[in-house]
Amino acid sequence: MTPLHHHTLHYCATHTINHTSFIIHIIHHCNRKAAVILIQRYWRGYMARQRAREIRQRNVDYQQAIAMEK
């Protein structure tokens, strides 16, 4: 584990954070390239969670539609 990853994990474990404060923390404590990489990873994870949530909702809607037809 790199010092940057260790620092980031420590920050997450010891602070109550929201999306904005985490990104601001990364920008202030990392060099630009590392900050961009971490923010991209964070964003990809966020978008993956959003897509999964939408898919789960579509599945629920589909199951309800089938139940209504019966």
- Could you tell me the residue ranges of all domains in the chain? 3-69
- pLDDT classification of 7: cutoffs 50, 70, 90: low
Amino acid letter for position 37: I
Sign of the torsion formed by the C-alpha atoms of 50, 53, 59 and 65: negative
Pair 63, 36: CB distance under 8 Å: no
User: What is the C-alpha to C-alpha distance for residues 20 and 48, in angstroms, rounded to an integer?
Assistant: 18
User: What is the C-alpha to C-alpha distance for residues 47 and 39, in angstroms, rounded to an integer?
Assistant: 12
pLDDT confidence of residue 3: 57
pLDDT confidence of residue 29: 73
pLDDT per position as a tens digit, 16-51: 556 677 777 777 777 878 788 888 888 898 899 999
Residue 15 above 70 pLDDT?
no
pLDDT confidence of residue 32: 79
Pair 7, 29: CB distance under 8 Å: yes
